[in-house]
Amino acid sequence: MTQVQTEFKLGSMRCRNRVWVASGTFGYGDECLDLVDVNKIGAIVTKSLSMKPRDGNPPPRVVETTGGMINSIGLANIGVDRFLEEKAPFLKTLDTAVIVNIAASTIEEYRAVLERIEAAECCHAYEINVSCPNVKEGGLSFGTNVRMTAEITRELRPLTGKPIIIKLTPNVTSVSEFARAVEDEGADAVSLINTLVGMSVDVKTRRPKISTTTGGLSGPAIKPVALAKVYETVKSVSIPVIGIGGITSVNDALEFLITGAEVVEIGTANYINPNVAVEIAEGIELFCREQNIENAADIIGTLQTDQTISVVKSWM
């Protein structure tokens, strides 16, 4: 069989393959060069950047749970200035797509960060992390308010011709409502899921295991939830859906593609093996070759559900 087609295009961005590394789980792309040929990754999504550097939360910031981990990093990042100075020049030398993930506590800050990065021409797309506390509304997350999520998209859309991906939070009743809202405002894609709100307690000390009491749950434990949210979303929008959550193997990634995700992002699994995205990308290629699939795109959305089972017959 001839070469398997693995390329993915989103507007002006071309990615070698459909396996990306998720924000906050691969630093700024220059930390693991000993372990990974980063040019084999479909796209590198940076740690969330805010305008000013952020120290992040007090320790402890991470704790392992069954099949997962909770984190409370507090968006620790080096800020736009240092990013442009210290990281962007290296990222520009790469032969892979770079997606800057943006976090902010006001809409103005989202705008300002995007404008600075856009002016520096150092990336191929933006991923907007809306799971950030909105300081103007008492710290409630932008991402759990559909109006605010739409507004961020509306404000950012005119500022760039590059693709804008809105990264949705799963901590809402209906994630597809959010996906539709940002699609209407011109988002090029949605990525999901960000972490689930989770908590763990140290019974000996009677204190939470992370300093902020609750944090974000990630890892294989949440994969079923992520897959269900992706399934809900692909049925509701026509822009590409990027699947994230608990992916550690080729099989996991294929589950998301079959369900309808155009791309997957690998998060927590990078902590165990920073080369895992490359290995998964190669595994998907092998799967295609074995199954005589010419283009990885042909896997996407091929889930066969039983139509005779009515919707009202819910699973409860």
Ligand X SMILES: Cc1cc2nc3c(=O)[nH]c(=O)nc-3n(C[C@H](O)[C@H](O)[C@H](O)COP(=O)(O)O)c2cc1C
Pick from another protein, its own copies, ligand X, none: which does 244 bind, CB < 5 to 8 A by kind? ligand X
Q: Does 23 bind ligand X (CB under 6 A)?
A: yes
40/94 Cα distance (integer angstroms)? 10
Q: Which is nearer to its own copies, 124 or 127 (CB)?
A: 127
Phi, psi of 266 (to 5 degrees): -105, 125
- Compute the least distance from the CB of residue 154 to ligand X, in Å: 20
For position 116 contacting ligand X by CB under 6 A, the verdict is no
Which of 215, 240, 243, 267 binds its own copies (CB under 8 A)? It is 215
Nearest to 231 by CA among 245, 210, 212: 245
* Choice among 15, 122, 123, 132 that is catalytic: 132
Question: With contact defined as beta carbons under 8 Å apart, do 163 and 191 qualify?
Answer: no
Q: Considering the complex, state which of residue 94 and residue 258 has its C-beta at the smaller distance from its own copies.
A: 258
DSSP character string of 274-311: TTHHHHHHHHHHHHHHHTT-SBGGGGTT-----TTS-S
> Pick from its own copies, ligand X, another protein, none: which does 214 bind, CB < 5 to 8 A by kind?
its own copies
Number of residues written out for the chain: 316
Residue 283 within binding range of another protein, rule CB under 8 A: no
Please state the closest distance from residue 79 (CB atom) to its own copies, in A: 16
Site for ligand X in 54-113 (CB under 6 A): 71, 73, 75, 101
Query: Measured from the CB of residue 186, what is the shortest distance to its own copies in angstroms?
Result: 24
Is 132 annotated in the active site? yes
Query: Taking CB under 8 A as the rule, does residue 119 contact its own copies?
Result: no
Binding-site partner at residue 2 among another protein, its own copies, ligand X, none, CB < 5 to 8 Å by type: none
Contact pick of 219, 243, 260, 274 for ligand X (by CB under 6 A): 219
Binding residue count for another protein, defined by CB under 8 A? 36
Nearer to ligand X, 116 or 167 (CB): 167
**60 contact choice in ligand X, another protein, its own copies, none (CB below 5 to 8 Å, kind-dependent):** another protein
23 binds, among ligand X, another protein, its own copies, none (CB under 5 to 8 A by kind): ligand X
Q: Which of 197, 223, 219, 198 is nearest to 270 (CA)?
A: 219
Site for ligand X, rule CB under 6 A: 22-25, 47-48, 71, 73, 75, 101, 129, 167, 194-195, 218-219, 222, 244-247, 266-269
